[in-house]
Structures are given as structure tokens and as C-alpha cells.
Structure 1
């Protein structure tokens, strides 16, 4: 049998059986059901002779004679169904007042009391003319049998009452018997509900078997998801988005076993150049996607953009700097070389070291547009971020790094260093660097959407022309916009574009 058909049949059975069990239990069997059970049947003989029998030794029969072999029986009567039981539902003749009879073979009734009413109003059904009575009869089979007759008590679902009987042995005691009939329903001995009902246990075992069987079908199924494509795809561009794409590519490859990925993340501009060169040197659309922090310029018209995510960035500082909050004006003065020591703005007495990304980095472009108000960062004067080069421009030490992880490493290692990075990558280094708030506002989606936090950008995926619908490129881009791909994007502190309350923020590139 085809595995998909087998899985469908298992799923159908798994749904049908519980539905059938529900209707059987609550519509057919328990639609109208009177339940009863013996909760106690014990003797009161002073077998160990303690001498502390107290009131038990003083109990007498109706004629005043003391009880010599007493016993106690507690019977619970309850509505165990899902509909009410009325007086007319008891299956006895209309002129018979009693609806329930309890027999005690080999014992006679010395006394009885109705107790533990679930609703005090039930007590109105046990008056003098209600049919509540005691008696006894003699037969060849049971000898003397004590009898308790109970009225036709109306019971709502869940209502109950109990009867405590005091009995005297007059022969060989037998098991108490409850005699009652219910029109259009059943009267049945019930069990205590302190444990899991047997039928419920069987149903749980059945469902577990169905789940395991479906798991086996999925495990051994040779098929692949509908949208999987084969081939090899190269991902290039922004290092800020690198970890997101590596995780997404691994997830896709794990799902679609015939897909392979190659990575070359060295900055947004470098990625666009690689994509353009690949397209120009190939007769067909290359299997390559370039990711950029922000849109490209008007050149390279064959590169087509797709907004993918709303990307947050943050300033990061070495912990020795002693700062965790900067105003936009302070950041701009820092990168203009007007602040050379952190103590000038409330930090420690440590020289400022500016660590930037290299030209062509999308993160650097975003920083210049969104934070420095369009001004370019000044030239570097240090290759190692620790000492200034001879002949370089004096003043604050400035250096550049090619990749996001390299920048975070330098900021963590060099006292007084400050830089900027994608928020998800920076969050993973919280033990090493301090994420710097801007004007008291930390990097957060809501703050960025409402204009309170400036350091963000749209992440674009570029292709050379429109990729064929059945290509690995097109399949992977669709994967990024489905639930799994969006979960990965969110896990790094970013947001898929289509989840923003104002999708215009992920504006399409022009």
C-alpha cells in the first residue's frame, strides 16, 4: 500500500475512533444512567477486645434488644448520565411510591439514614409519604433478607445521595443488591473515579499506537516536500545577514536532501559585484543570491531586489569604556573625532578607539545614512586598531574590519573600542561587548517602527534577472517567506517584512 494512503487511513481512524467513543459514551450509553455503588460494607464486631467500642456496644434494634452482630453498609446513588432523571423515569408501576430497592440477604435492617445530599433540596424527596421505608422478607434461596426502599428521587446530572444502613446478621450474609430500572436508559453499578477509567486508558493506548504508526510512516517515507529543488546555490553579500542565511540554508538542505549551498559573505557591495559578474558570464540565470543591507544604487539594472527582513543594528562598546547609553549627537561627535577619551562623556578614563566596517559594507552604509545623518566616516589611521600608523592622520585611533564577527572581536579585545553590528550577532556576544543604547532606547522592533530608534535597514535579496520558478534559487527564496524561514529570521532578532504592521518600512528598492 502507498505510504501516503496508509498515513491517510491511520489519520482517519485516529479521528473517527475518538468521535465514535464520545458519541457512544455520552450520547448512547450515558444519555440517561442511574449509577449506584457500595462504598462500605463492614462488620462492627469487637474482634480484638479493645474495650473501647463505646457507642457501638449500646446500639439496639427496634424492639430494644442490643445488636449482637452488627454491620454497616454505605450505598451511593447518583445520576451518572448527561440528562436529568425524573420521577417518571423510574421503571415501576405508577402507584408504587418507591423507585429503588436495596436487598441485604442474611441480614435485617436495624436502622438507616439518608446522608450526604449533593443538593440540600433533594431532602424534600424523603418525607413520610415519599416511599422511603424498611422491611424484610423470607425466601428459600436467601433466608431472611432485609430491605430498604428509596423514593423516586429526581436527579440532575451529577446529583447524588447516600444511604447508611445498620444491619443485624440473621443468617449467612450475602452481597447487597440494588434493584432499579430506568426507562429509556440504564441503571448500572459504577466505580470510584479516583483512578483513570479502563476505557479511557484503552483509548489513550490506542491513540499512542496511531501516533507511533504515523511517526513511522513519516520516518520511512522516501518522498521530499513539494517545493524542494535540486542543485547548488551560492549565497553572497552582507556579513550582517550571514548567520541567518547559513542557518536557513542548513535547514533547507536538511529538509531537501538534494540541495547544496556555497557561501561567500564579504559585504553587500562585493556580493552585488559577484552576482553581476556571474550573470554577465552565464547564458542562463545563475544560481546565486546576494543579500544587502539596504538597496543598491541605480547601476546594474539586471539585479532584481526582494525585501526579505527588517534588520536591526546596534552600537557596541568595549566594557572598559564604561558607557551603555549615547545620544545621537555624542555618536556623531565621536566619529567626527571631537571626543578622544570616554571620561569626556561620563565614561572611564580610557582613550576612544573607533572600529568601522570597510567601504562597500551595507552595515557601514546604513550607519552613515541612519546615524551619521549621511556624513561619511573619516579615513583610518591604524591597521591593528591598537596603535596608529606612522604618517597617518593624528587624533582618535580609527580602524576598519572586513566582517561583522571580526569587528565584534576587536571591540571585545581593545579597551575603549566602539563599533556597530547587526543586532542578532551583537546579542550573541553580550558577555564580551556592551550593546549601547541610543538616547535611552535599546535596539527594538517597536521602537524602530515608531521612529524612536534610528539604526535599522531593510535586508534585500538580489537575483540576476527573474529566476525560473522550478530553480533552487526561486525555491529557497520562497522558503525564506514560509513559516520555517520566518522563524529563523525572527530567532536572530529581526522580523520578516510581511509581519510588520506597516509593511511600507520594508520598502521595495527602486
Structure 2
């Protein structure tokens, strides 16, 4: 049985059973009910041994009161009570005459009787002699009988009958006294002391305990129930290394509620990710590319989905004492017009430009947002050669991934580059500068004061089946808990922007 159905079904069953039990107990069975119980049935050998000394003189005579040869006496105390949930009126008794109930004492006859306790003194008015209370004998069946009147009783009202009984003509043990009668829309039955739990109550409690134990066992040992949006399968994610940490963390969160979903990664740059999905993604919904910015030309079959606005930063080697750059100064640096940091008030160090390789979404975003769309064309060398040879004048090198960018800027004195801000913020040896006096934060971007930001997109080859893991994971990123992961990394989900058009995949001019 599916554990999810069990976890849902058992509480529903328990609720239905509880409701039925309540209705059965208090509406059907106990709606109108007269109960009785024998509280004492003990033999006595004389007045001295009576549990109630002196009461024999008060008993109303019944049966053959003139008979002085009473043998084998016993005292019986019986409680008659309204055990239902509604009142009982005189008209509710179904007997044809003034008598409402009959107490039967098989194999014994009534020598005397008395009313010994009333829950309400008003009840005594209905139990006086002449109102229907009397003792008699059924000689044919050897049964002593006490007739009781039609006493109206509110809920929980009760009275008690004390009877002195003598052995009848039949030898042997005495059967239990019984109360006979009929109620309209109700019944007469034996009851028990309320100090303990009834069998019905014990059975009901046992049922609830079983439900709780089963649910606890499922929660402890059973498999996790499927959750809304959980789709099992395998999904490969390729593309932007700048957005890789966000995607990895989001996938980890997704698997917490959907452990049957598995993810593989190949973040080697936005352009390479687009090319991979273009070549291998046709008819394959298990492949997605994540890019920094919109796709380049040449990918007509790829369908884009905006994910988030991401914050990028210009980063410098920690040694130059330069903490703020204007947009114009950044352009002058990357176009070779500033060759030494002392021009900007920093140390006497030649400028080393570190670029991402062509095809990088981060490089494309940098050129569009800060360089006015112009491409960087300067003499290039390997970053290792720049570090070792330290040639004079401005020089540049290229790196393929975000991690390589951070490593190169941290290792080369005088280096300047760019990367996602969240990755740079925690990297030793690298400092993210402010641009035009504005810090690389989400609030500055949303206020349109910080210029270096971009939009992250997901691309598939054609439309995705709605029941695919790729479609479910994208819904998780845009409409589910994945948005929390994006915000944790400093981004802003596109759906939360005041102007969603800012996530439109259109290249800035």
C-alpha cells in the first residue's frame, strides 16, 4: 500500500470512525436510555447483621407480609438512572397502565422494600405509595416483582430501591435481578459504574492507538510521500560557470523533497552550453543550458526562459589601493588608455587585464553594460606568463571559467577582471570595487544605480514536456523554493521585479 495513501487515509478513517462512534453512542444508543445496576445483593441472617440496621421496620410490606416464616433473607440495592443524553417523560414509558418498570427477582419473593436515595427530591413525589409502586409475586414462575411508576427523569437523575427478599419455592442459586420495561425511542439496559472505562470506550481508544502507531511507523521507516512538483529522473545542466553555484544549491534543495531526481553538471561557459543543447537537446528534455544573458545568433530552435537578475562586479587584485572606479575609468582600463594604477591613485603597477574567453556570458554582459557593446582587443598572453614575466605596459590574458578568473586576479599583482559578485565576495586576494560610487548589491541594481548586472536564462531545445524533470525544476526556480536560493546568492527572481520586461531576452544596444 502506498504510504502516502495510508498517511492520508488513516486519519480520514479515524475521523469517520470517531464521528460514527459519537453519533452511535450519544445520538442512537444513548439518546434515550434507562439504566439500572445492582449495587448490593447480600444475604442476612437477622436484623443485627443487616447492612442497614433499623431499615427493616421502615420497609413497605409486599407479597405475603403476614408470613412470619421468612427464610434465607437477602438485601438487594438497585440503582435506576437516566443513562441517556435526553430527558425521559412519563409519556416515554410504553407500558399500558400506570406502571413504568418491573423489577424481577427470580427464585425470591419481596418481603419489603423502600426508596433509599433520590438525586432530586421531586422524584419522591412519583415514588410514594399509591402512585404505582408496589410489590407482588408471580407464583407460577417463582418471581418476586416490584412495580415502579412512570417517573419523569432528567439526564443523570437516579433513585435507588432497597428490597428485603426471602427464598421462594425454587431451590438453588439466585439469578441476578433484572429490570423490565420499554421506552418509546429508547431502551432499558444494565449499566456499570462510571469509575472505569466501558468496553466500547476501550475498543475505541485501542483503535486510535493503532492509527497513531501505524502513522508513526510510516513516518519513521516508510518512504517519503511524493510532493507536489516532484518529478523523478535525470537532468543535465550545462552553461554559465557564474551561475553554477546557484543551480547546484537549488538542485540540492529540490532533491530534499524529491530524492528520486538526479542532476549532472557541465558548466563550461554560456556559449558552449548553448552549443551542447543545440546539438544534443533535440528530443531530449533532460538537457538544459544556463546562460549569463540572452543567446547569441545561430540558435533558432532554443527556447529561452528568464530566471533571475544577477549582480556582477569588477574585481581587482587586493594590493592596488583602488576601491572605486567610474564607468569611464573601467572603459579606459580595458581599452588600454590607462596602463598604470598610479594614474588612478594606486601603486606604481602596470595594469593586467583578465578577460573571460569569447562565448562567455559574463564577458558579453560586461561588454554590453560597461563598455557600450565594444569588444576588448589588446595584446594577449597567458595569465601564467603575465604572472611570471611581468612585462612592462598594459597586457591582457583570457580565462575560460569564473573560477579561473578569480584565481588569476588573485595571483597577478595589478590585475583587474570581472565575475559574479557573490563568487568574488568570498574569494581571498580579490576585491570587488564600487562603480560610480555604488556597491554591487541587489538593492542598488533594483534602484537602477548600479550598472553591472545581467539576466540569467535557461534554454532547452524546443518546448519541454510539462511532466519532465526539466520543466519541474524550472518551475521550482521561478515559482517554488528555488527563488529563496536565488535570493541567497544575491540575485532577484524575474517574477519579483517591478518591471518584468527587464528580464526580456533582448540585447542592449
The 2-side partners of 1:214 and 1:240 are apart by: 45
Q: Does 1:361 align with 2:360?
A: yes
**Take 2:474 and 2:369, find their aligned partners in 1: how far apart are those partners?**
27
- Report what 1:231 is aligned to: 233
Matched, 1:453 2:441: no
- Structure 1 gaps of 5+ residues are 14-209
Cα separation, 1, equivalents of 2:386 and 2:9: 70
CA apart distance, 1:386: 4.6
1:495 and 2:497 aligned: no
The alpha carbon displacement at 1:266 in A equals 0.9
Q: Secondary structure at the match of 2:481?
A: helix
Q: Indicate the larger mover: 381-390 or 470-479.
A: 381-390
The answer to whether 1:5 aligns with 2:3 is no
- Equivalent positions of 1:53-452 (< 5 A) are 218-222=219-223, 223-279=225-281, 282=282, 284-387=283-386, 395-429=393-427, 431-452=428-449
SS of structure 1 residue aligned to 2:289: strand
Given that residues 388 and 397 in structure 1 are in contact (C-alpha distance below 8 angstroms), is that contact kept between their aligned partners in structure 2? no
Could you tell me how far 1:507 is from its partner in structure 2? 1.6
Would you say the 8 A contact 2:309–2:453 is kept in 1?
yes
Deviation at 1:501, TM superposition (A): 1.9
Inter-partner Cα distance in structure 1 for 2:444 and 2:327: 15
Distance 1:409 1:10 in 2: 62
Deviation at 1:381, TM superposition (A): 2.0
1:217 CA displacement: 5.3
Matches of 2:10 and 2:425, distance apart in 1: 43
- Whole-Å separation in 2 of the counterparts to 1:437 and 1:12: 62
Contact 1:356 1:419 survives alignment (8 Å): yes
TM-score of the two chains, using structure 1 as the length reference: 0.56
CA distance in 1, matches of 2:504, 2:11: 43
Q: 2: distance between equivalents of 1:376 and 1:11?
A: 70
Distance 2:227 2:467 in 1: 13
3-state secondary structure, aligned to 1:292: strand
1:235 Cα offset (Å): 0.3
Which SS does the other structure have where 1:333 is aligned? helix
Deviation at residue 213 of structure 1 after TM alignment: 10
Tell me which residue corresponds to 2:49.
Answer: none
Cα contact 1:308–1:458 (8 A) shared by 2: yes
Residues of 1 paired with 2:316 and 2:334: CA distance?
14
8 Å Cα contact 1:381/1:389 also seen in 2:
no
Displacement of 1:395: 3.5
Count of residues in Structure 1 that have an aligned counterpart in Structure 2:
310
Distance 1:6 1:272, change over 3 A: same
| Other structure's SS at 1:343 match | helix
How far is the alpha carbon of 1:246 from its aligned partner? 1.2
Unaligned segments of structure 2, at least 5 residues: 17-210
Q: Distance in 2 between matches of 1:433 and 1:268?
A: 23
* Residue equivalent to 1:156: none
Aligned 8 A contact 1:436 1:442 in 2: yes
Q: Are the structure 2 counterparts of residues 340 and 479 from structure 1 closer, same or farther at C-alpha, using a change threshold of 3 Å?
A: same
How many Å apart are 1:255 and its aligned residue?
2.4
Q: Any conservation in 1 of the 2:292–2:454 contact (CA below 8 Å)?
A: yes
Q: Report the Cα offset of residue 212 of structure 1.
A: 12
User: By how many angstroms is 1:436 displaced?
Assistant: 0.5
1:373-427 CA deviation, whole Å, 9 max, x = no partner? 111011442213553899xx98412011111011101111211111100111112
Go from structure 1 to structure 2 and tell me whether the alpha carbon gap of 1:6 and 1:219 turns closer, same or farther (over 3 Å shift).
farther
Q: Describe the shift of the 1:339–1:289 C-alpha distance in structure 2 as closer, same or farther (beyond 3 A).
A: same
RMSD over aligned Cα, in angstroms? 3.0
The 2-side partners of 1:11 and 1:425 are apart by 53
In 2, the alpha carbon distance for the partners of 1:11 and 1:412 equals: 65
Seen in structure 2, the aligned counterparts of structure 1 residues 337 and 256 have a Cα distance that, compared at 3 Å, is: same
What is the Cα deviation at residue 367 of structure 1?
Answer: 0.4
The alpha-carbon distance between structure 1 residues 329 and 250, as it changes in their structure 2 partners (threshold 3 A), is: same
Residue 477 in structure 1 maps to residue 474 in structure 2: yes
Maintained 8 Å contact 1:323/1:346: yes
SS of the residue 2:377 aligns to: coil
Does the 8 A contact of 1:385 with 1:397 survive in 2? no
